[in-house]
Structure 1
Amino acid sequence: MSAATGAATPRLAVTAMAAPATLLFAALVITPLVLTLILSFHVYDHTTGVQDAWTIGQYLTVLTDPYYYGIFLRTFRLAALTTLICAVLGAPEAYVLSRMRKPWRSIFLLVVLAPLLVSVVVRAFGWSMLLGPTGLVNDALQALGLGRVRLLYTETAVVVALVHVMLPFMVIPVWTSLQKLDPATEQAALSLGASHSTVLRRVVLPQVLPGLLSGSLIVFGLAASSFAIPSLLGGRRLKMVATVVYDEYLNSLNWPLGAAIAVILLLANLVIMLSYNRIVEGRYRKSLG
């Protein structure tokens, strides 16, 4: 057997092993996205429904209407705020987790992952009861003499619930990055006269950045496309992109417009996340250099 044939055999074996996962990914992810893209270019008539004709009118409607601008801006603003809060809370939490010993590390990790074991809808209903007019939070505020505050169906309620749901997706990547950091490196820096703030900035932070980047991308993408929490805690007036897509599909029955909004959300998410990834990676390489 020739060297070329011998080299081709492992490639064929790898391709054969990856084929089932590739086909499954294409069937469950790529195909629905392609069908949604095709649907977004169809003509819609309010009397007869989706027509077998092509147009870019749905995209023009979204891109030229200030109403949709406001919804997209609100969606990305709340997603960015959620990501920032998760980073501020999740990075220290991951650092503490990385310094724990057994069995406390396992217990703390279980506490971090516990919210993922409960349905998002159940957690959203739980927050609606806590933040409602007669909920525990308002009862506590009234007991303190601050009076009742409108929390439910506000951006505050949406962000609080999103942070609760998304925090594990920030903690785990940062914790994984910190696993590569040898604690002896910090001790060596301290023994050479570096302050604790310098050690955190020059030793720990470069190790945290890759995990922080991964967690931020995950949290932002999930928060921007979240549906259950904005729908249950934001109400009918506090619209986000996912709730608008739902309304177009099931209430207005304008499937092409809903598909166009979904495609624009996907593209905008990709642009924002790729730009963020490039900026953070550039700073990370400069810090290493």
Structure 2
Amino acid sequence: MCSIGTMIFLIMIITPLAITIMLSFNRYDPDLGAIAGTFTLDNFTGIFADPWYWEIFGRTIWVSFLVTLLCAMIAIPEAMILNRMARGWRSIMLVVILSPLLISVVIRSFGWSLLLADNGLINRCLEFFGIPAVTMLYQQTAVIIALVHVMMPFMLIPLWTTIQKMDPEVENAALSLNASRWSTFYKVLLPQMTPGILSGSLIVFALSASSFVIPGILGGRRFKVVATLIYDQYLRELNWPTGAALALILLLANMLIIVNFNRLLQRRYKRKLED
């Protein structure tokens, strides 16, 4: 069984990654395309030397960070309410929370495009209350709203699982010692939720940074992120080496941010528990 698992891992994970790495160092010719057997660093130096690529990478990381933060802010109270529900209502709420995962992200993206359009339902509701219409479609706002909606279950479920393991008497003990609700939440409950927040944040950030469908549909051609740029390089420009280099840089940047974020939260978690 171990050998079969190793073979599947090598075929499904290592092989595509190795091909991408080798392709990223190939020389690109506009007439011939990627030239196999060549070696060059021009793809990477061209990316790092161009401020336009830096802007797109910065935008991708910023959007992913905002989506992760918003998901955490929404999921924390939602998970606490879910934990205190009766078992029957909790089951119904879990079905409601997880049911969007059964729908294709493409369909959900087109649904949001209808809601966020200039003459969509949201703007019509704003006009009904006398509020001027707001342009949201093909903007960063539309991408963030849709990503938060799609990524919410990936933040909520790990957080709710962590809260289930917490001792409810700890909160009651803090309140009995005249601690305020805010102090109890910030100093007692939140440190215990850190493992769930960390797990959810890692998943949400990684998926948001590599998301292609939502930025492609709701961001349009004007709102570029790294995933849509990789798509353009592969299928529009046919510049596979640059596309592979971009994918590799995104992977390394993602891993670097996730590892440092993991260490930061773990330190804060240990410090809170020691205090």
Q: Which residue of 1 aligns with 2:66?
A: 81
Out of 231, 256, 259, the position equivalent to 2:244 is 259
| Pick aligned residue for 2:8 from 24, 40, 47 | 24
- Unmatched 5+ residue regions in structure 1? 1-16
Equivalent residue pairs, number? 273
Q: Which residue pairs with 1:225 in the alignment?
A: 210
In the TM superposition, structure 1's runs of 4+ consecutive aligned residues that sit over 4 Å from their partners are: none
- Return the letter of the residue paired with 1:20: I
Give the aligned partner of residue 3 of structure 1.
none
Identify the match of residue 138 of structure 1 among 95, 101, 123.
123
Give 2:187's match in structure 1, choosing from 202, 206, 210: 202
Aligned partner of 1:177 in structure 2 is: 162
1:57 aligns with 2:16: no
CA RMSD for the aligned pairs? 1.2
Identity of aligned residues (%): 52
Q: How many angstroms apart in 1 are the aligned matches of 2:2 and 2:68?
A: 33
Q: Distance in 1 between matches of 2:162 and 2:3?
A: 30
CA drift at 1:288: 1.3
Q: How far, CA to CA, are the matches of 1:202 and 1:155 in structure 2?
A: 34
| Counterpart position of 2:31 | 47
Q: Please, what TM-score do these two structures have when normalized by structure 2?
A: 0.96
Q: Any idea what SS the aligned residue of 2:130 has?
A: coil
Distance change in 2, residues 1:62/1:176 (3 Å): same
Q: Distance in 2 between matches of 1:184 and 1:101?
A: 18
Q: Deviations over 1:214-244 (max 9, x none)?
A: 1111111100110000000000011000000
For residue 221 of structure 2, what is the aligned residue in structure 1? Answer: 236
> Structure 1 residues 195 and 145, CA, compared in 2 at 3 Å: closer, same or farther?
closer
TM-score w.r.t. the length of structure 1 is 0.92
Range 240-249 or range 109-118, more displaced: 109-118
2:20 paired residue number? 36
* Cα offsets for 1:189-210 (capped at 9, x unmatched): 2223333222212321121001
Mark the CA change 1:207 to 1:18 in structure 2 (over 3 Å): closer, same or farther: farther
SS at match of 2:87: coil
- Cα distance between partner residues in 2 of 1:62 and 1:197: 47
Amino acid at match of 2:9: F
Q: How does 1:146-157 map to 2 (within 5 A)?
A: 146-157=131-142
Cα deviation 1:13-45 (Å, max 9, x = unaligned): xxxx44433322221122111110110000110
Shift of 1:269: 0.5
Larger Rg: 1
Show the counterpart of 1:96. Answer: 81
